[in-house]
Structure formats: C-alpha cells, structure tokens
Structure 1
C-alpha cells in the first residue's frame, strides 16, 4: 500500500484527513495509534501530533490534516477537488478551514481538556471564554450558511472536511440548537455525507473515551 495514515479513529483531526481520503476514494492503510505504535509515529514526526500521512511511493511524510488534504488533492485527486482552481474561491476555502480549526475546534478542545484536569487545576474563566467563542462562531456560521449548501458554496471542500468533525464534537459540548437553524441543517447535511458518516461510525467503539461522557442528544 502506497499511503499509510497514522491516526486514531476518535480524533477529530484524523477524521478531517480520513474524510478527504474517503471523498477521493483513495486506498490507504491506517496505523492505529496506541501505546505500541506511538513510538513509530514520533520516529517519523518528532512532535508526535497526528494524523501523519506517509507516501511510500513518493518518499514523503506529511503531517497536519489541512496539509495532508492539499497534498492528496495535488497528487491523488479524487472525483472532486478539495481546493478549487479559482484563486478567490481557493482563498475562501482556506478562510473557512482556518475558521473551523481556530474558532470551533480550539474552543471545543479547551472545554474538553478542562474536564480532564484535577478539580483544583481547572480553568473556569478559560472554559467560559471558550463557550463564548463557540457561541460567536455558531452565530457567524448560521448567517453564512443561510444561502449555501457547503461551507464555501456549492461544492464540498477542504473546509467541510474540517467542519464535519469539529461541529460534531462542538455540538457535544455546546449543543447547536434551533436558534441556529441554518447551522443545524448544515450539520445534518454533513452527518448524511457518506464520507463523514463513515468516520462517525468508525469512531463509535471509542466513545467511552470522551471526557465527561457522551451527551444524551448524541446519536
């Protein structure tokens, strides 16, 4: 197998890369990250962050989910491109990619990480700020999605690869309610997308790992 993805199926950033691979229909193997395989990951990417894609045919090691997706789009393009050729449309996709990383995933992870701290080391102010940021992000996205099907228009893109997992988990810590009908509808479209559904289903056996437990509204 040419492509190997070092990943864990419960990781949102791993979902992001896996969604792009599923969208393209590109064959790949997964090295499931656990205590026995983490050393191999650090040998190829000393920072130890994942996912990491290894392309044996090209002799390339690619970290970072967004960069993995752009690499795949360039060297292993699928039925549809994850980044458009038009420069302005491409910038819009990149903007939304950064938005989902910085203003949805980052505050969501702050809230979850705080749950893992001992009681006396928690950061209630930081968690409150993270909730406020998520609320602002939800409002902005709801307005944006009023007139579009996918994050950057009519075509599923790199931005939606991140939106799928990040909104999925954000909804677990700050439910996306009917005050945001366009965002609710967008998340439903993402959840119905075969590539996203496949990652959601692949992660089900690991749901017990979610700090604080899976919320009652999760399906």
Structure 2
C-alpha cells in the first residue's frame, strides 16, 4: 500500500460515534486524517453527509464517501481487513458479528445517547426520561453481561469489530472524563455485571482505544 492515501475522518471529540471509526482505523493500521467539524449542519458538511451528523469518511483510494458509523465499520472491514484480523471465517460467526453491530447501532447508541441528553443537555429536568434511559442502559449492559459469561469477547474467541463497536459509548458512561458518576450513583456495575465490567476494562486498555482518546487521558 505504498500509494495508499489517508482516509479523511470527519469527527468531533464530544461525540462517541466518531471514536468507533477512529478506533477501528487504529486497530487496522490504516492511515487517516481527522477533521474536526464544529457544526455538522453547515452547508459544506451537509454536502458530505445530508443527515448532518458525525462521523463521515472520504476514502480517496476508492473515491467513496460514507456516513453512518455502522456502515463505515462494515466498509472498512470489507475493504481493508482482508486478513480477517477483526473478523471471523465461519459463516455463522460472520452473521453473529453483524447481529452485534446492529444491536450496538440500534440498541446501545441511541439509549446511551438519550441518557446523556437528558442528564446533561435537556433544558428542563425530566425525571421520567432520565429513569427510562437509565433502565435501558442497565438492560443493554445486562444483555452484554449474559452474553459474555465464560468468554472474553463476543464472537469467535478473539477481539472483533463487534467488541470494538461498543467501546466509545461504554466510555461515555463509565469514564470520569464524561459523567459516569452522575448516571451510576448507587449502581454497583462491577459487582452486578462482572463479565461486562471485565470486558469493558479489557477493551479500554487496548492501544487503539488509548490512542483514540489520548488527548483526553493526559
């Protein structure tokens, strides 16, 4: 890949979804250039992503522009993980990976995001909304905890893009640089969900994750 051109990643440090893409690029050793977008609703960025959300990528090597983090992950795996470093070979395992990716994009991200919104940004205090989305966080963590019983990773006995896809939203809830104390006051996550907690700690310790969050961990 001597003639490989870096992939452009449009991101913002306040949003977990761009970190999903950056972590994957780091894991695969793919060169990239990160462009911070302060306002994704500006016309120049709407021309890239009509949804006006982050992340988005432009890959000059294939002349493709892609948005939606789940689609970007699938693209990077199919295009640049030919060796299967972050995937599995068997057909059942491949569908299980897709299953977990869909669960992350439809089940984890939206609920964790709404919890964040109602705890940090919503102009009025809405206790019922806070309670609902905290319960959804607990439900999602319960699903992961049960699925990780006796396992280190979700599929195939190794780290895959499925595990990595969950990292950034987990960080947004658990790490002190965000607001986990506000959400988890009174919750004993490591006691009640030990397999999930151990998995979270393993994933957060990976070099790709540490590199992605380096500016926040100083």
Look up the match of 1:202.
215
Determine if the alignment matches structure 1 residue 140 to structure 2 residue 143. Answer: yes
Deviation string, structure 1 residues 23-47 (Cα, Å, up to 9, x no partner): 0000011111114995432121121
Question: 8 Å contact 1:26–1:78 — kept in the other structure?
Answer: no
Question: CA 1:135/1:17 → structure 2, altered by over 3 Å: closer, same or farther?
Answer: same
Look up the match of 1:189.
202
Look up the match of 2:160.
157
- SS of the residue corresponding to residue 34 of structure 2 reads strand
Q: Structure 2: how far apart are the matches of 1:46 and 1:165?
A: 24
- For structure 1, the 5+ residue unaligned runs are 206-219
Moved more, 138-147 or 54-63: 138-147
Matches within 5 A, 1:1-219: 1-35=5-39, 38-77=42-81, 80-114=84-118, 115-119=120-124, 122-171=125-174, 172=180, 173-174=183-184, 176-204=189-217
Q: TM-score, normalised by structure 1?
A: 0.83
Question: 8 Å contact 1:41–1:48 — kept in the other structure?
Answer: yes
Which gives a bigger RCO, structure 1 or 2 (Cα 8 Å, sep 6+)? 1
Question: CA 1:96/1:201 → structure 2, altered by over 3 Å: closer, same or farther?
Answer: same
Q: TM-score, normalised by structure 2?
A: 0.83
Question: CA 1:36/1:52 → structure 2, altered by over 3 Å: closer, same or farther?
Answer: closer
Question: CA 1:71/1:48 → structure 2, altered by over 3 Å: closer, same or farther?
Answer: same
Question: 8 Å contact 2:40–2:53 — kept in the other structure?
Answer: no
Deviation string, structure 1 residues 58-115 (Cα, Å, up to 9, x no partner): 2110111121122112222276433333221011112222222333322221111113
Q: Structure 1: how far apart are the matches of 2:169 and 2:29?
A: 22
- For structure 2, the 5+ residue unaligned runs are 175-179
Question: 8 Å contact 2:70–2:105 — kept in the other structure?
Answer: no
- SS of the residue corresponding to residue 192 of structure 2 reads coil
Root-mean-square deviation over aligned CA pairs: 2.2
Moved more, 144-153 or 178-187: 144-153
TM-fit CA distance, 1:51:
0.7
Q: Structure 2: how far apart are the matches of 1:203 and 1:39?
A: 29
Q: What is the aligned length?
A: 203
Question: CA 1:200/1:78 → structure 2, altered by over 3 Å: closer, same or farther?
Answer: farther
Look up the match of 1:211.
none
